[in-house]
Amino acid sequence: MHLPRSSRSAALRGVPVRHLPLVLADLDRRRERVLGELHPTLEAKVRDLVDELGGRLTPYCGYRGPGEQAAALAAGASAARFGESPHNFTPALACDLVLDPRKVNVRPNPVDVEWPDLWDDETSSALAAWEALERASLAMGLERVNVGGRRDKPHVQMPSWRSLIVS
Ligand SMILES: [Zn+2]
């Protein structure tokens, strides 16, 4: 499995592309799975959001179980324990999106430069995509949050999500 030469050169400037086909296949698989995990209202809004952003961002995380929540907490990606995050319910009341390297030039992952950085917050095209997500999600009535005093860039959630919990 490989990408045509033209889309390879267009996709990632400065990023080794050895793993790119794997990354893209995983992104496409995750998008479908994650959309299926979301509250129907959130799913519709996220689909609209992705369209409006020209596919520059793609759904990456919907439901987060106890193990994943503990890992996110330990990694500093979330400030919540299991049950405190809108990701911890079925259907999920929050969605995280990442950059799609087919649409946005991203830097190499700082930890392993063989992989693209789907959370790039340095490259100008990536910053423009995050800015567009901020504006478009707020315009759609979704909520944004800060973690540790900084915007949680990938995260959108339903307003008053606690009132939507189905137990
Ligand atoms: Zn999130």
**Which residue reads 């998008």 in tokens?**
31
Q: How far is the CA of 1 from the centre of ligand 1 (A)?
A: 31
Alpha-helix residue ranges (DSSP H) falling in 53-88 = 66-75
State the helix-helix crossing angle for 124-139 and 40-52, rounded to 10 degrees. 140
More confident residue, 2 or 102: 102
Q: What is the pTM of this model?
A: 0.89
User: pLDDT tens digits for 86-106?
Assistant: 999 999 999 999 999 999 999
pLDDT surpassing 70 at residue 165: yes
The full length of the chain comes to 167
The environment of the single-atom ion ligand 1, i.e. residues with CB closer than 5 A, is 94, 96, 155
Q: pLDDT-based confidence at 63, cuts 50/70/90?
A: very high
Q: How far is the CA of 87 from the centre of ligand 1 (A)?
A: 6
Contact criterion met (CB below 8 Å) for 92 and 37:
yes
Q: How far is the CA of 109 from the centre of ligand 1 (A)?
A: 20
Q: How far is the CA of 145 from the centre of ligand 1 (A)?
A: 9
Reported CATH class of domain 5-164:
alpha beta
Q: How far is the CA of 3 from the centre of ligand 1 (A)?
A: 30
Q: How far is the CA of 55 from the centre of ligand 1 (A)?
A: 19
Domain parsing of the chain, residue ranges: 5-164
In angstroms, rounded to a whole number, what is the distance separating the alpha carbons of residues 51 and 79?
Answer: 30
User: pLDDT tens digits for 122-161?
Assistant: 999 999 999 999 999 999 999 999 988 999 999 999 999 9
Q: How far is the CA of 12 from the centre of ligand 1 (A)?
A: 25
